[in-house]
Amino acid sequence: MKAKPWLYLALCAGLLGFDTLPALAAPAAREIQVVQSYVVKPGDTLWGIAGRFLKNPWEWPQIWHKNPKIHNPNLIYPGDRILLERNAQGQLQFSVVTLHPQMGVAPLPTVATGEIMPFLGNPGVISSKQAYDALPYLAAARQEQSMFSVGDRLFVSGLENAAVGTRYTIISLGPELRRPGAQQPLGYVLSDIGEAVLRRNGPTGEVEITVAKREISLGDRLMLLPKGNIPHYFPSAPQRPVSASIIAAMTSAPELMTGQVVILDQGRTAGLQPGNVLEVAAPLLPTRNAVTGKALVLPAEGIGTVMVFRVFDNISYAIITTAQRGIAVGDKLRNPPSATAKGQAGGPGAG
C-alpha cells in the first residue's frame, strides 16, 4: 500500500513532541509547509521556549520584529499557542495565537526568577570607598553593645530631611572587584545585611531595625530600599563587541553551573544592557602541529552562556543560562555567535 505523506509527517511530529498541522494553502504538493506549534504552560520561560525553536535563543528578536502579528514579544502568557513555519523560500515565520486574552496571569519571565530575585533588590556595588563613606550611617545607640538586631532603635547621621517612614537597606562594604591584571579597583560589592525604617528625622534621627540578615553594627551604612518590582528581560546579543571576564561569583564553589549568579568586569560603559547574552569562552590546552611539530595555539571554545540582568557603569550581574561544563571565576566572555535564522529551526532539544 502506498504511504501517505501526511501520515508520515504526523508520525514524525508525534515523536518530536509537537503538534503539526499541514498548511492549508501550499503552493504545490511538494512544497507542503509544516507548522510546529507549542502551547505555553505555567512555569515556562522565554529562554526555554526559544530553545525549542532556535539554536540561539537570543536571536529570536530578529524573527519577532519581522512578524507584524506579534504586537509585544515581551508579553507571552500561559495558554498562548506559538506557531512556527517556513515559507516557500525557507524563511522562518512566527505567530502567536492568544487563546485566553482575559487570563489573570503574569507574562512569562525570561529565566526562572527565583535565582535572580535576591540580587534584584540588593544594593549591588559602589564605585569607591569614598562614595561608601558619604552614605548615611548608624551613628549611636542608647546602650553600648557590639551587635544589634530586629526591634533595636539606633540614632543615624545623614537623614535630617528624609521622610519619616522611609525604608532603608542596611549595608556593609564587601570585597573589592578588580579586572584581571589591573591595579585600579572597579568598585566594591555592597553586602545586604538588613533593613530599617526611619522613625524620627532631624539632627538626631532614629531608625528601627526591621530585618537582620547578618550582624548589624554601628558604622554600617544606609541606602534607600528599592521597590520589589520584577523587571522583564528579553534575551538579545549586545549591540557592539564586548570582551569581559567573570571576576566574582555568589558562591564559593570552584565550578559554576546553570542558574548561578556571577559578576562581570564590564557594564554600561561597554554597551551592556539588561537582557544581553554573552558566551563563556574557555581556552583549549596548547598542543603541537602533527606535521611540523611546532606549538599550536587553539582558539577558545564556547562552554556556556550568561544573561546580564543588572548593569552598573563598569560592572554587571549575570546569570548562567547554559553550561556544557563547569564555569569558573576568571573565564572570559564574548558576544554570542551569530547564525542565520534559516538554520536555526528545530524541535525540542534543538541546540
pLDDT tens, residue by residue, 156-176: 999 999 999 999 999 999 999
3-state secondary structure of 48: helix
pLDDT attached to residue 48: 79
CA-to-CA dists, residue 210 to 64, 135, 150, 189, 240, angstroms: 45, 20, 5, 23, 44
Q: What is the mean pLDDT of the chain?
A: 78
Bigger pLDDT: 230 or 123?
Answer: 123
- Cβ-contact 69, 95 below 8 angstroms: yes
> What are the sequence ranges of the domains in the chain?
5-97, 122-224, 243-335
128, pLDDT greater than 60: yes
Please tell me the predicted confidence (pLDDT) of residue 74.
61
Average pLDDT over every residue of 188-195: 93
Q: Residue 276's pLDDT is what?
A: 93
pTM (predicted TM-score): 0.70
CA distance 216 to 117: 23
The CATH homologous superfamily for domain 243-335 is FlgT, C-terminal domain (2.40.10.410)
Residues 6+ apart with CB under 8 A from 234: 46, 61, 73, 74, 110, 275
Listed residue (26, 35, 61, 66) closest to 46, CA to CA: 61
Length of the chain: 351
pLDDT at residue 35 tops 70: no
Q: Which of 81-95, 217-231, 274-288 has the lowest mean pLDDT?
A: 81-95
C-alpha cell at 28: 504545490
| Range name among 74-88, 227-241, 298-312 with the lowest pLDDT average | 74-88
Question: Is residue 78's pLDDT more than 70?
Answer: yes
